[in-house]
């Protein structure tokens, strides 16, 4: 990978890691459902006027918009609003990887590999450690359950995405955002009230507005845009493991900016979750690469022998 591509990867990781900080800042001025609605409104307009719908059945785009965007982010934002810190949220959300695997077992008939099962067991032990500390100031039961539910919604959304096949991700983001916007706006008006909308629009400061703009343009557009660029030029196995750094950036930035405490139990839980993800992502690839390296001398020798003959 060229140096400037590595720089782009790190830019994406930092953009996504800091996103949890800006969500938390945005929630200080904007209610969760309204923040979701504003995010997806700005994400789809005016881009939707220039980007064609993804080449997939539109019912799948609707499912994606409702599940991946509407349900996942409403649960995520409400969970952070009721008490979950950015760093801990970033760790819990990584469980979507294993929720995706589990959901694929039931709906796609895919069988998990040995390393996926081992990785899930290690990561869930970290989640169990978090569950034992739900009385801590950075974690409570409602927030914990909401974030885990958001991870499940993300997992279902991943399965929907897989059923679409190879499509333009940016087109899916734009049209999925349009699908999510209207239900989120209606839900905000019902549960948060019209007065909340009016008050927010009249009293929002640069903190709230800047947070929304960061979430949309930096995290979504810059993040996904650069990610798609990198994926199109490199093997997924090379680029994907870098996402393991996202919760690391989120936890460190939350500690520095939001003064989130990092007690031993939280660091151990993060280590367990990340170790499980590493087993899932890296172990099969490393073993495959090791086997291929062992075979290379035999192939070279056979080639040389044939040349001599």
* pLDDT one digit per residue (tens) for the chain, 309 residues: 788 899 999 999 999 999 999 999 999 999 999 999 999 999 999 999 999 999 999 999 999 999 999 999 999 999 999 989 999 999 999 998 889 888 888 887 888 888 889 999 999 999 999 998 887 667 899 999 999 999 999 999 888 888 888 888 889 999 999 999 999 999 999 999 999 999 999 999 999 999 999 999 999 899 888 887 887 787 766 777 788 889 999 999 999 999 999 999 999 999 999 999 888 877 666 666 665 555 544 434 333 333 333
Looking at residue 308, its pLDDT comes to 32
Q: What is the pLDDT of residue 57?
A: 93
**pLDDT value for 207:** 95
Determine the pLDDT at residue 145: 95
Number of domains in the chain: 1
Cβ contact 108:253 at 8 Å: no
pLDDT for 237 equals 63
Q: Is the pTM of this model over 0.85?
A: yes
Asked if residue 197 lies in contact with residue 37, where contact means CB atoms within 8 angstroms, the answer is no
User: Residue 65 belongs to what domain range?
Assistant: 3-308
């Amino acid at each position: 990978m060229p140096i400037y591509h590595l720089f782009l990867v790190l830019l994406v990781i930092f953009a996504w890691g800091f996103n949890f900080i800006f969500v938390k800042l945005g929630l200080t001025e904007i209610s969760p459902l309204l923040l979701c609605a504003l995010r997806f409104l700005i994400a789809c307009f005016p881009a939707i006027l220039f980007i064609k719908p993804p080449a997939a059945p539109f019912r799948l785009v609707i499912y994606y918009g409702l599940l991946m965007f509407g349900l996942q982010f409403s649960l995520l934002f409400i969970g952070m609003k009721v008490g979950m810190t950015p760093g801990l949220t970033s760790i819990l959300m990584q469980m979507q990887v294993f929720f995706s695997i589990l959901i694929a077992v039931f709906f796609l008939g895919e069988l998990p590999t040995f390393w996926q099962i081992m990785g899930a067991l290690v990561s869930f032990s970290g989640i169990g450690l978090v569950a034992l500390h739900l009385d801590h100031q950075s974690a409570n039961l409602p927030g914990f359950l909401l974030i885990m539910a958001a991870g499940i919604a993300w997992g279902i959304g991943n399965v929907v995405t897989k059923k679409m096949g190879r499509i333009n991700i940016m087109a899916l983001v734009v049209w999925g955002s349009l699908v999510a916007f209207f239900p989120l706006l209606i839900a905000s008006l019902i549960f948060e009230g019209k007065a909340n909308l009016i008050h927010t629009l009249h009293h929002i400061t640069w903190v709230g507005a800047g947070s929304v703009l960061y979430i949309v343009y930096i995290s979504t557009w810059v993040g996904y845009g650069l990610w798609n660029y990198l994926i199109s030029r490199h093997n997924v196995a090379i680029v994907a493991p870098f996402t393991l750094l996202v919760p690391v950036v989120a936890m460190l930035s939350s500690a520095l900016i939001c003064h989130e405490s990092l007690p031993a139990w939280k660091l151990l839980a993060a280590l367990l979750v990340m170790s499980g993800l590493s087993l899932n992502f890296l172990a099969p690839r490393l073993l495959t690469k090791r086997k291929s390296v062992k075979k290379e001398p035999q192939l070279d020798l056979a080639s040389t022998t044939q040349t001599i003959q």
